[in-house]
Copies of this chain bind each other. A is one copy, B any other.
């Protein structure tokens, strides 16, 4: 059986994907893949997602240069969630988030509110020209 057939794609043909930085173990971002995106990710060794808003493949870093090299692809116990171990390329310290921050998970719950707890490392206006 094809390894791609073992993934339990949802009704939209997608699977949720978590990207974790290999060196730091930080969770960088969350996105979605369709079958073609996962196949390309394995083939190219770089993260290729499926953009639900644009309804097409999204080669992470295609505009920003913030490419993710993929070291490991993991699948969970129900075969319906993917975890990538990546090296986040393109900036030092690394930037995965379109807001110019290291990680997308920069809002922390504190006493009934969300606080922004990570700095912008680079102005998004200069990332996306």
Contact = CB atoms under 8 A, between A and B. Distances in A.
A73 B113 contact: no
A88 to B, nearest CB: 15
Interface string A75-89: 111110101000000
A30 B109 contact: no
Interface residues of A, number: 35
A16 B10 CA distance: 14
Interface in A1-52: 3, 6, 16, 18, 20, 24-27, 29-30, 42
29 contacts: A3-B112, A3-B114, A16-B16, A16-B30, A18-B30, A25-B25, A25-B26, A30-B76, A30-B81, A72-B108, A72-B109, A73-B108, A73-B109, A74-B106, A74-B107, A74-B109, A75-B105, A75-B107, A75-B109, A76-B104, A76-B105, A76-B106, A76-B107, A77-B98, A77-B99, A77-B106, A77-B107, A79-B114, A83-B105
